Amino acid sequence: MFASLSDSLDKTFRNLRGVGKISEKNITDALKEIRLALLEADVEFTVAKTFIEHVKEKAMGTEVLKAVKPGEQIVKIFHDELAELLGGDQVPLNLEAPARILLCGLNGAGKTTTAAKLAGRLKREGRKPLLVACDLYRPAAIDQLATVGGQVGVPVYTPDTSESDVVKVAQDALSWASNQTHDVLIFDTAGRQEIDERLVQELQRLHSFLTPGETLLVADAATGQGAVSVARHFDEAVSISGIILTKLDSDARGGAALSMRAVTGKPIKYVGEGEKLDQLFEFHPDRMADRILGMGDVVGMVEQVAARIDEKDAMKSMERLASGKFDFYDFLDQMKMISKLGDMKGLMGLLPGFNKIKKQLPDAAFDPKRMKRTEAIVLSMTPDERRRPEIIKASRRRRIAAGSGVDIIEVNRLLKQFGEMRKMMRSPGKMQKMMGGLGGGMPGMGKGKAGKGGFPGMGGFPGLGKGGMPDMSQLGDLGDIDSLLKGLPPKKR
């Protein structure tokens, strides 16, 4: 999402790092470029102006001017101010009883889906949420909430379609909830294409009746500078307590994320980065500042992997790999684990420096359709062929190609890559390198920096395209991923 802003900032800071001494002119010129980059990223004008003034005030200090590496000092100042602009520390939800969360926002922002995502997340954290449908205007809104609520396994209160009083719906929902086992109630409200007085009055009545502990504005990150006026209007109407930013994986320029916190003074609590119902993540200002500056978010990546991959299954798979007893059944298990991770390109975008090498990636490298085609080839094999790939000769290859609906060239390529993987895994030295010091988890992501030529073990991974991953020597230091995993709270491991 912040790709354009990240590229502009990277160019500016690279120029700063290249000078031996930082002068007032250096700083002024750099901040002009940064201000332009912020405005191009849809950051609200007064927010950008104030932000640049704060950075300049700190950057012009004598301590910075006398520093050995003044360019790095400026980057540090910018990072800290950016994290402060985004909210400073991460702010958790207020879930004190009676825990009630009211979601509001414009039509199309993704409130209903976000309600289910939030309910599913709270359920995974050990809570017992309930969903309440309070959108009485949009056709099928109630049915949609019931559907997505069922997908995350959370009960949903659905009012009669003839009901038109939202406060009456809330009253009935509270009566219904009193007979349910729950500790959090999430209310999905109606939105509009434009903010109007009727919407404001309805929200005010509902808010006054519920007195929710959290009133969260669900805002589309692609709204741009218009998101600022939306946030201000809702805050004045119902005093929002926080923001959930959706569609952070889009091509939006990101100005909304940088502006809304500054204008409303209310924290961004969660961000949605995908359409899947488990893709709602806590918003950490310092980590987002890292991502904007191209430093990645390795902790966030590890959290996502740990949440989606079963540790026992991963360890079992690693033991099979280490023993050299790797066949196409194991390969299918690996593919299932990878598919659970969701958008691999988005996940790898959390790696330090990924933006610098992403243009090297072939379009097919992370294409889920390509993964499905590879899976179809394996599923077209007999059980004996999956256990002993060496028996797959010409006639069997033709049958497998016909059964999976692919060209025989794809079958040959998969078998060749698989054979190369087996040879590597049976070599103790290469296997040790592939494991990279990580005691289970993602292959090749161990201590230190990613090696030149790509992550060991993933360069020729079948299904990622010829040649696998590009040169990743520009990626930053990943650190000890195993230590990061061990440092996570139990619920996130």
Torsion angle in degrees (nearest 10) through CA of 477, 483, 485, 488: -110
pLDDT digits over 289-323, tens only? 776 765 555 555 555 666 666 667 667 766 766 66
Residue (of 382, 406, 375) closest to 396 by Cα position: 382
Higher per-residue confidence, 310 vs 483? 310
Residue 380 pLDDT exceeds 90: yes
Domains plus CATH for the chain?
3-85 (1.20.120.140), 100-295 (3.40.50.300), 303-492 (1.10.260.30)
| Predicted pLDDT of residue 241 | 93
What would the mean pLDDT of 51-58 be, rounded to a whole number? 82
Kindly report the backbone phi and psi dihedral angles of residue 4, in degrees, each rounded to the nearest multiple of 5, phi listed first.
-65, -45
Q: What is the 3-state secondary structure (H, E, C) of the chain?
A: CCHHHHHHHHHHHHHHHCCCCCCHHHHHHHHHHHHHHHHHCCCCHHHHHHHHHHHHHHHCCHHHHCCCCHHHHHHHHHHHHHHHHCCCCCCCCCCCCCCEEEEECCCCCCHHHHHHHHHHHHHHCCCCEEEEEECCCCCCHHHHHHHHHHHCCCCEECCCCCCCCHHHHHHHHHHHHCCCCCCEEEEEECCCCCCCHHHHHHHHHHHHHHCCCEEEEEEEHHHCCHHHHHHHHHHHHHCCCEEEEECCCCCCCCHHHHHHHHHHCCCEEEEECCCCCCCEEECCHHHHHHHHCCCCCHHHHHHHHHHHCCHHHHHHHHHHHHHCCCCHHHHHHHHHHHHHCCCHHHHHCCCCCHHHHHHHCCHHHHCHHHHHHHHHHHHCCCHHHHHCHHHCCHHHHHHHHHHHCCCHHHHHHHHHHHHHHHHHHCCHHHHHHHHCCCCCCCCCCCCCECCCCCCCCCCCCCCCCCCCCCCCCCCCECCCHHHHHHHCCHHHC
Residue 173 has pLDDT above 80, yes or no: yes
Q: Report pLDDT for 451.
A: 34
Distance between CA atoms of residues 172 and 473, nearest Å: 59
- Residue stretches of the annotated binding site: 105-112, 188-192, 246-249
Question: Which pLDDT score, from 0 to 100, does residue 460 have?
Answer: 37
| CB-facing half-sphere around the CA of 149: CA atoms within 13 A | 24
Mean pLDDT of 252-266: 73
- Residue 353 identity: G
Mean pLDDT within 244-249: 82
Tokens in use for 315? 């360890």
Q: Where on the phi/psi map is residue 479: left (φ > 0), alpha (ψ -120 to 50), or beta? A: left
pLDDT in tens, 266-276: 888 998 887 88
Percent of residues, the chain, with pLDDT higher than 90:
26
pLDDT at 212 over 90: yes
Quickly state the pLDDT bin for 146 (edges 50, 70, 90). Answer: very high
Residues of the chain above pLDDT 70, percent: 63
pLDDT band at residue 356 under the 50/70/90 scheme: low
Q: Check pLDDT > 90 for residue 186.
A: yes
Q: Over the stretch 5-33, which tens digit does the pLDDT of each residue have? A: 666 677 777 666 665 566 777 778 778 88
Which pLDDT value is given to residue 372?
84
| 300-334 burial: b if 16+ Cβ within 10 Å, else e | bbbbbbbbebeeeebeebbebbeeeebebebbeeb
Q: Taking residues 213-234, what's their average pLDDT? A: 83
168/10: higher pLDDT: 168
* Binding-site positions for GTP: 105-112, 188-192, 246-249
pLDDT digit string (tens) for 89-110?
778 899 988 899 999 988 888 8
What is the Cα–Cα distance from 259 to 268, expressed in whole angstroms?
Answer: 11
Q: Which residue has the higher pLDDT, 68 or 328?
A: 328
- 239 contacts 211 by C-beta, under 8 angstroms: no
Residue 395 β-bridge partners: none
Whether pLDDT at 382 is above 90: yes
Joined tokens for residue 154: 């959370």
Out of 183-192, 227-236, 249-258, 318-327, which region has the weakest mean confidence (pLDDT)? 249-258
Q: State the pTM of this model.
A: 0.63
Which pLDDT band holds residue 453 (cuts at 50, 70, 90)?
A: very low
